[in-house]
Amino acid sequence: MSRVPRSFRLLEELEKGEKGMGPESCSYGLADSDDITMTNWNGTILGPPHSNHENRIYSVAIECGEEYPDQPPQIKFVSKINLPCVDQITGEVKKNQFHTLREWKRSYTMETLLLDLRKEMALPTNKKLPQPTEGSNF
Amino acid sequence: MSAYEEEHNISNEDNSRRELRAQIHELYQENGQSNTLLQLLSQLIPESMQEEWLQGKEEGCPEYFIDSLPRVAKNKLKTGDSCSICCCDYMDDQYPLVVELPHCNHRFDLECVAVWLSKSKTCPLCRDDVLSHKPSVDVSKAEIEEDWGMYG
Amino acid sequence: MASLPKRIIKETERLVSDPVPGITAQPHEDNLRYFQVTIEGPQQSPYESGVFELELFLPDDYPMEAPKVRFLTKIYHPNIDRLGRICLDVLKTNWSPALQIRTVLLSIQALLASPNPNDPLANDVAEDWIKNEEAAIEKAREWTRLYAKPK
C-alpha cells in the first residue's frame, strides 16, 4: 500500500465527515473552512446510552499536526467531562493514558479516535463516574 | 446467503442461469424501476443484488464481454506499439496478449483493459461506449418466460 | 513499500526530461507517488504571471483511478474551492487510464484559462463570477498578485 500524504488523507476524512457517511454517534469538521492546512477540527461525541453520559453531546477540539497521520492528533475536550484519561484542568486527552493515542496507527482516523473515546465513556469502570453539570466547558 | 439464494440454489447456478441473470440484469438497466413487470420480478431478486445493479448503471462491462474481445495476433503488432494503460511495448513480452475493442479498434493489453472495463464501459482512448455496438438482447427467449411462469 | 509500477517511473522520467512548458512536477524523495507541482497562470487570463503551487498524489489504483490533485496556493476561481480542491471532469467521472500526469496538469492549466462558473465547486465565487464577471476577474488578478508570486 502506498502512503497517502497528510493533505489527501485529511480531505478524505473531511469528505466522509461532510457527507455524513460516518456513524451517527460522532461528527467532525474543519474548524476554519478556509484553512488550507486543515490543522484544526471540531468534533462531537454523543454520550453512550446506559451511562452517566447518555444524551449528552460533548464537543472536542482536534489538532492534526504536520506529522498526522503518522503521529496522532492532539485532542481536547471543550465540554467538561470526568474521565481518567482527560486532564481535569485543560480538558486534554492524555496520550499516555488513552490507548488509541498511545498505540496510534497510520490507518486510524479522527473517527476512530472519537468512537474509541465514546467506548472509553461506556467502560464499566467509567460509565457511572459522577459528571460535571451538562453544558459546562473547560 | 439470502432466502432467495437458498431457495433457488443460486450458489450452484449453472451457466444457463447465469446467462438468464445477465439478461434480466440488462432489462433492469434499460427499464429500471419504471416497468411494473420488472418491479414484480425484482421482488424475487435479493435486494443487495438489485442495489448493485442500479448502482452498476454507470459501471463496467459484463465479464463475458471482456472475455470475448478479439485478440490481436503477434505478427500484427509492430515494435514500438505500446499499451496506453501500462505504457509498455507489446513486444517486450514474448507472448503478448493484446485485444482490440469493437468499433473503435483501439488496442490494449488484455490484462490492462480488463481491469478498466470491469468498472467502465468506455474506451480509454476515445471514450467510445464499447457496449453500444452489440445487437440488443432478444427478450422473447423462452427461458425467461419459463422462469417468470414459475415464480410469478 | 511496494515497488513503483513501470508506468509511473516512465511518466516521472518524461516529466523531467521533456517538461511541459509552464508546468513542473517533481516527486517527493520519500514518496515517489507524491508530486510537488507548479503551474504558471496562462497568458491573457486573470492568473497571468502567477505561479501556482499544487500537490498531486497517485493512489494505489492509478491509472485505473485518477490522480488526486489540489491547489496549495490560494486562488480565486469558480471551479477551485477554498481548500484548493478542483472541479474538473477528468479528475472525476471522465478519468481514463490513457490520461497521464502531464495531460491532467495541462487540463488544469486550461481550466485556469477558461473558468466555467456554470459548473462550480466554489459556489460563492461562481455566483460572483456570473453576477459581475469584470469584478470577479479583477479579484482573481488581485489574488494572483497577492498569493501566486513567483519564487
pLDDT at B55: 54
Residue C79 included in any domain = yes
Q: What is the pLDDT of residues B17-62, one digit of tens each?
A: 566 666 666 666 666 556 666 666 666 666 656 655 555 455 789 9
Distance from CA of C96 to the nearest CA of B (A): 5
Residue A133 included in any domain = no
CATH number for the domain spanning A39: value is 3.10.110.10
Residue C71 included in any domain = yes
Contact (CB<8Å) C96/B86: no
Contact C65, C96 (CB under 8 A): no
For residue A86, name the pLDDT band (cuts at 50, 70, 90). Answer: very high
> What number of other Cβ atoms are within 10 A of residue B141's Cβ?
12
Q: What is the pLDDT of residues B79-121, one digit of tens each?
A: 889 999 999 999 998 889 999 998 899 999 999 999 999 999 9
Place of cell 467502465: B120
Residue type, C23: I
Active site residues of C: 87
Q: Would you list the DSSP string of B81-135?
A: -B-TTT--BGGGSSS--EEE-TTT--EEEHHHHHHHHTT--B-TTT--BGGGGSP
Helix (H) or strand (E) holding C40: strand C31-40
CATH number for the domain spanning C120: value is 3.10.110.10
The yes-or-no verdict on residue A43 having pLDDT over 90 is yes
* Number of independent structural domains in chain A: 1
Q: What is the mean pLDDT of chain A?
A: 93
For C62, the closest chain A residue by CA position comes to: A2
Q: What is the pLDDT of residues C86-115, one digit of tens each?
A: 999 999 989 999 999 999 999 999 999 999
Residue A96 included in any domain = yes
Give the structural domain span for A53: 6-122
> What number of other Cβ atoms are within 10 A of residue A117's Cβ?
24
pLDDT at B148: 46
Residue A98 included in any domain = yes
Residue A127 included in any domain = no
Percent of chain A's residues with pLDDT above 90: 85
Q: Does domain B61-152 have CATH number 3.40.50.1370?
A: no
For residue B9, name the pLDDT band (cuts at 50, 70, 90). Answer: very low
Q: C33 to chain A: which residues are within 8 Å by CB?
A: 2-3
Instruction: State the DSSP code for B76.
Output: G
Residue C1 included in any domain = no
Higher pLDDT, B148 or B75: B75
**Does residue B104 belong to the interface with chain C, where contact is any CB pair within 8 Å?**
no
The yes-or-no verdict on residue B136 having pLDDT over 80 is no
Answer whether C touches B (≥3 Cβ pairs < 8 Å): yes
Contact (CB<8Å) B112/C97: yes
* Number of independent structural domains in chain C: 1
> What number of other Cβ atoms are within 10 A of residue C21's Cβ?
7
Residue A40 included in any domain = yes
Residue A1 included in any domain = no
Predicted structure pTM score = 0.79
Place of cell 498524489: C57
d(CA A79, CA C128): 39
Give the structural domain span for C106: 6-148
Residue A15 included in any domain = yes
Q: What is the pLDDT of residues C59-74, one digit of tens each?
A: 999 999 999 999 999 9
The yes-or-no verdict on residue A22 having pLDDT over 90 is no
CATH code 3.30.40.10 region(s) in chain B: 61-152
The yes-or-no verdict on residue A52 having pLDDT over 60 is yes
Q: What is the ipTM, given to two decimal places?
A: 0.90
Which subunits sit against A, judged by 3+ Cβ pairs under 8 A?
C
Q: C64 to chain B: which residues are within 8 Å by CB?
A: 115-116, 119
Residue A46 included in any domain = yes
Of the candidates A1, A4, A38, which has its C-beta nearest C83's C-beta? A38
Distance from CA of B26 to the nearest CA of C (A): 22
